[in-house]
């Protein structure tokens, strides 16, 4: 079934747009909820102030004390790109501010799982830390913080995830999503939270004349924005006005070559132009290569790549991360084939038999890749999906991905509330979550999850919708507009890149690569205007389609650069034959 294409409508308002802003872009911004041109400001002075964040004064006081006493600091991170960039930023900033004994520790997902658990605290003791700083985790680590307290180790929690019913007994907590935090931007990634804390710390140290007393240069917080941009985009958090500033400024630094050697090396191995970098490049090329370390091996490789000051050594580590990512893709392809075989007896046309909440498990699946598998199956069937892998000792771990209309963490909370003891643990966001349960409880969980999904969603929610910014006129197909849209971002989650739709005459079609469809289309029957287009990963059973004379496309305007020559290209998101 083809998804419906629905055209966005900009709400009626009396916004006074800058005269230089093209009319087409005004409609795009308005339909994304922009009500004031000031929301489009991308300079650092428009960032929300750190002082608004609950717990930040207590956290800064802890860190100032740790620096003055040269205490041993241990950063405990997470094994994804947000966790890696958060860990690297914390270590780099603290060292730049004069900390002489600061290390990091990332739990191996296959041995310890997520967060500051009592087991990882036992490992942390080997570092003899006076202070543990959690980044991108910790808000749900009640037992882990208690274990650290019992060992005489103070804990500073920095996180962005939603808290549970109780908060850990930490010395300080910085999380915009904790109760009663007035910070207006609730969408910060973990790397954004630690950036704010380090910014507040620098201000406090500057006020006490610390840098002059220590004879060290005051760090420029802008030097860490490349890490903030990468972690924010890779974690797929909503790009509200505050996050767009952080990402834009980070992109500008990377484009200018003022980025960590590891980030530049990851761009090189992924074949992306540093000078033409956009947010989606971080999300679709750099982030996955960084994540590959945590999915298949140990995220320490990714963090070391980000910390590395040597371009040559960074290049070596980036090549290793690229090889891991290739392995991850091969594993994912096999798992996807197995998952589709499991679902092959049920199709969307038999919706009465298809679970509304899909749960899949195979004992041979790779624990580090189930999140991507859940995303792929969700995209295929447009239903919430949880993919499980064997975690040993009779336990399975699941990675959940959701669709609009279902807050997946709240759905898991509802299952836990109605079936006490069914879930061992869970946590996450609106669109993604993780969970654990006993393998023998999977059938009961499948039923309970499906019931919660059915009670939350309606039939219409199970049909994918493509939101389009409308149809372009022939005069709009210009490199000038494509460049304008490209630079008007950063685009991302909840602030999507402009997508247009329309019907075209099909002039040429051929497969390039393994399963990408290269097209030449015309805006009219006379073929007075020809446009290049490309659709990635098409269904080879349907395309090429020699019977099709016209096509309906949903597409993005893009600038294709080949051998120094730029040309307009349509990046096709949806392709439908019109015979």
* Model confidence at 352: pLDDT above 60: no
Q: Between 294 and 133, whose confidence is greater?
A: 133
Are 144 and 121 contacting, i.e. CB atoms less than 8 angstroms apart? yes
Calpha distance 232→398 (Å, rounded): 23
Output the domain CATH number for residue 355.
Answer: 3.10.310.30
Let me know if residue 3 belongs to a domain.
no
- Please give the structure tokens belonging to residue 63: 């860190």
Q: Is 49 helix (H, G, I), strand (E, B) or coil?
A: coil
pLDDT band of 79, cuts 50, 70, 90: confident
Mean pLDDT of 108-114: 75
Average pLDDT over residues 482-496: 93
For residue 351, name the pLDDT band (cuts at 50, 70, 90): very low
For residues 401 and 440, membership in a common domain is answered with: yes
pLDDT tens digits, 206-227? 999 999 999 999 999 999 999 9
Q: What CATH number is associated with residue 573?
A: 2.40.50.460
Give dist(CA 159, CA 401) in Å, integer. Answer: 20
Task: Tabulate helix, strand, coil % of the chain (nearest 5).
Answer: 45, 20, 40
Does one domain contain both 136 and 177? Answer: yes
Percentage of the chain exceeding pLDDT 70: 98
Q: CA 5 to CA 464: how far, in whole Å?
A: 9
Q: What is the mean pLDDT of residues 411-417?
A: 94
What percent of the chain has a predicted confidence (pLDDT) above 90? Answer: 78
Closest CA to 536 of 555, 551, 554, 516: 516
Instruction: Mark whether 255 and 308 lie in a shared domain.
Output: yes
Residues 440 and 514 reside in one and the same domain:
no
Output the CA–CA distances (angstroms, integers) from residue 376 to 386, 396, 448, in the order listed: 11, 20, 23
**Residue 305's CATH number:** 3.90.1640.30
Q: What is the DSSP letter of 219?
A: P
Could you tell me if residue 42 is inside a domain? Answer: no
How far does the chain reach from its first CA to its final CA, in angstroms? 16
Whether residues 310 and 442 share a domain: the answer is: no
- What does the alpha-carbon distance between residue 485 and residue 469 come to, in Å, rounded to a whole number? 12
Banded model confidence at residue 16, pLDDT cuts 50, 70, 90: confident
Instruction: Determine, yes or no, domain membership for 123.
Output: yes
The number of beta carbons lying within 10 Å of the beta carbon of residue 97 is 21
Same domain, 471 and 456: no
List pLDDT tens digits, range 160-211.
998 988 999 999 999 999 999 999 999 999 999 999 999 999 999 999 999 9
Per-residue model confidence (pLDDT) at position 346: 56
**Which residues touch 386 (CB under 8 Å, ≥6 apart)?**
357, 358, 359, 360, 374, 398, 399, 400, 401, 435, 449
Measured distance CA(135)–CA(188) in Å, rounded: 12
Q: What pLDDT is stored for residue 295 in this prediction?
A: 84
Q: With helix as H, strand as E and coil as C, how does 198-214 read?
A: HHHHHHHHHHCCHHHHH
Domain span at residue 369 reads 345-462
- Grouping H, G, I as helix, E, B as strand and the rest as coil, residue 343 is helix
Return the closest-CA partner of residue 242 out of 41, 488, 31, 493: 41
Helices (H), 344-383: 370-381
Asked which of 322, 354, 381 is the last residue of a domain, the reply is 322
Query: Is the predicted pLDDT of residue 353 greater than 80, yes or no?
Result: no
Looking at 462, 494, 521, which one is the last position of a domain? 462
> Residue 75 corresponds to which tokens in the numbers above?
């950063």
10: number of Cβ within 10 Å: 17
When pLDDT is cut at 50, 70 and 90, the band that residue 349 belongs to is very low
Select the highest-mean-pLDDT range: 61-75, 287-301, 471-485: 61-75
Helices marked H in 208-310 — which ranges?
Answer: 210-214, 225-234, 241-255, 261-269, 279-281, 287-296, 300-307
pLDDT of residue 350: 45
Indicate whether 10 pLDDT > 90. no
Number of separate domains in the chain: 3
What pLDDT is stored for residue 162 in this prediction?
87
Residue 568 counted as domain residue: yes
Residue 171 C-alpha from the chain's centroid? 29
Same domain, yes or no: 146 and 202: yes
Q: Report how far residue 392's alpha carbon sits from residue 261's, in angstroms, rounded to the nearest whole number.
A: 38
| Averaged pLDDT for residues 104-128 | 88
Under 8 Å between Cβ of 511 and 540: yes
Q: Which two tokens stand for residue 440?
A: 């023998």
The number of residues making up the chain comes to 579
493 and 383 within one domain: no
DSSP characters over 266-286: HHHHTT--STT--HHHIIIII
Two tokens, residue 497: 């890149």
pLDDT at 386 (0 to 100): 97
Task: Clarify whether residues 450 and 543 are in a common domain.
Answer: no
Run of H or E residues at 86? helix 81-96
**pLDDT top residue among 112 and 176:** 176
Residues whose CB falls within 8 Å of the CB of residue 42, separated by 6 or more in sequence, listed in order: 244, 245, 248, 249
Does pLDDT of 539 surpass 90? no
In degrees, to the nearest 5, what angle opens at C-alpha 491 toward C-alphas 489 and 494? 130
Residue 10 lies in a domain: no
Give every CB contact of residue 258 below 8 A, 6+ residues apart in sequence. Answer: 223, 226
Given a contact cutoff of 8 angstroms between Cβ atoms, the answer to whether 234 and 84 are in contact is: no
The per-residue pLDDT for 102 is 97
Over 50: is that where the pLDDT of 348 sits?
Answer: no
Most confident of the following: 97-111, 285-299, 420-434, 518-532: 518-532
pLDDT in tens, 229-271: 999 999 989 999 999 999 999 999 999 999 999 999 999 999 9
Q: Compute the distance between CA of residue 193 and CA of residue 264 in angstroms, rounded to an integer.
A: 23
Our measurement of the distance from residue 143's CA atom to the centroid of its chain's CA atoms, rounded to an integer in Å, reads 27
- For residue 574, what is the enclosing H or E element? strand 565-578
How far apart (Å, rounded) are the C-alpha atoms in residues 471 and 27?
12
Q: What is the mean pLDDT of residues 62-75?
A: 97
Say if 212 falls within a structural domain: yes
CB 532 within 8 A of CB 565: no
Does any domain span residue 309?
yes
Q: Answer yes or no: is 277 within a domain.
A: yes
- 453 pLDDT more than 70: yes
Give the 3-state secondary structure of 477-530.
Answer: CCHHHHHHHHHCCCCECCECCCCEEEEEEEEEEEEECCCEEEEEEECCCCCCCE
Helix 370-381 with 311-343: angle, nearest 10 deg: 50
| Sheet (strand 102-105) strand order | 102-105, 73-76, 131-134, 154-158, 172-174
- Is pLDDT larger for residue 92 or for residue 298? 92
Q: Are residues 141 and 105 in the same domain?
A: yes
- Average pLDDT in the chain: 92
Residues 383 and 487 placed together within one structural domain of the fold: no
Q: How confident is the model at residue 345 (pLDDT cuts 50, 70, 90)?
A: low
In terms of domains, do 378 and 505 share one? Answer: no
Strand, helix or coil for residue 176: coil
Residue 1: pLDDT band (50, 70, 90) is: low
Choose one of 267, 287, 322: the last residue of a domain.
322
Mean pLDDT, residues 74-97: 96
């Amino acid at each position: 079934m083809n998804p419906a294409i629905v055209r966005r409508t900009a709400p009626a308002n009396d916004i006074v747009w800058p005269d230089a802003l093209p009319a087409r872009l005004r409609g795009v911004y308005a339909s994304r909820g922009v009500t004031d041109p000031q929301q489009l400001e991308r300079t650092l002075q428009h960032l929300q102030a750190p002082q608004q964040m609950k717990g930040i004064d207590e956290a800064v006081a802890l860190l100032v004390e740790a620096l003055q006493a040269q205490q041993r600091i241990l950063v405990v991170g997470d094994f994804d790109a947000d966790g890696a960039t958060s860990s690297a930023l914390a270590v780099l900033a603290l060292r730049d501010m004069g900390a002489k004994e600061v290390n990091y520790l990332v739990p191996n997902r296959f041995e310890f799982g997520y967060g500051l658990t009592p087991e990882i605290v036992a490992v942390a003791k080997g570092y003899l830390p006076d202070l543990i700083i959690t980044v991108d985790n910790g808000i749900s680590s009640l037992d882990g913080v208690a274990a650290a307290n019992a060992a005489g180790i103070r804990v500073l929690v920095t996180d962005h995830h939603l808290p549970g019913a109780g908060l850990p007994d930490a010395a300080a907590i910085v999380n915009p999503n904790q109760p009663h935090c007035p910070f207006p931007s609730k969408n910060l990634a973990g790397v954004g939270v630690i950036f704010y804390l380090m910014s507040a710390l620098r201000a406090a140290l500057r006020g006490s004349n610390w840098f002059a007393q220590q004879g060290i240069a005051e760090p420029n917080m802008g030097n860490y924005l490349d890490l903030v941009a990468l972690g924010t985009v890779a974690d797929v958090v909503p790009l509200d006005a505050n996050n767009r500033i952080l990402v834009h400024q980070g992109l500008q630094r990377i484009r200018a070559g003022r980025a960590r050697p590891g980030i530049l090396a990851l761009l090189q191995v992924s074949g992306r132009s540093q000078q033409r970098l956009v947010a989606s490049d971080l999300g679709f090329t750099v982030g996955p290569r960084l994540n590959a370390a945590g999915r298949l091996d140990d995220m320490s490789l990714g963090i070391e790549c980000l910390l590395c000051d040597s371009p040559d050594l960074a290049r070596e580590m980036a090549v290793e991360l690229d090889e891991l990512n290739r392995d991850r893709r091969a594993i994912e392809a096999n798992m996807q084939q197995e998952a589709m075989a499991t679902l092959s007896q049920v199709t969307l046309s038999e919706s009465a038999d298809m679970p509304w909440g899909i749960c899949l498990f195979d004992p041979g699946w790779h624990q580090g890749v189930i999140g991507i598998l859940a995303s792929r199956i969700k995209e295929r069937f447009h239903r919430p999906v949880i993919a499980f892998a064997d975690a040993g000792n009779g336990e399975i771990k699941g990675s959940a991905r959701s669709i609009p209309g279902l807050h997946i963490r709240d759905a898991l909370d509802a299952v836990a509330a109605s079936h006490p003891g069914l879930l061992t643990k869970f946590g996450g966001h609106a669109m993604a979550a993780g969970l654990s349960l006993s393998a023998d409880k999977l059938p009961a969980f499948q039923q309970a999850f499906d019931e919660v999904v059915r009670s939350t969603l309606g039939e219409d929610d199970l049909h994918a919708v493509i939101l389009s910014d409308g149809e372009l006129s022939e005069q709009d197909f210009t490199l000038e507009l494509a460049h304008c849209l490209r630079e008007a971002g950063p685009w991302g989650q909840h602030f999507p890149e402009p997508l247009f739709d329309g019907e075209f005459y099909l002039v040429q079609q051929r497969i390039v690569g393994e399963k990408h469809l290269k097209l030449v289309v015309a805006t009219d029957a006379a073929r007075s205007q020809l446009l290049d287009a490309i659709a990635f990963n098409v269904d080879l059973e349907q395309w090429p389609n020699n019977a099709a004379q016209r096509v309906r496309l949903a597409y993005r305007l893009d600038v294709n650069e080949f051998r120094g020559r730029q040309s307009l290209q349509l990046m096709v998101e949806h392709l439908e034959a019109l015979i």
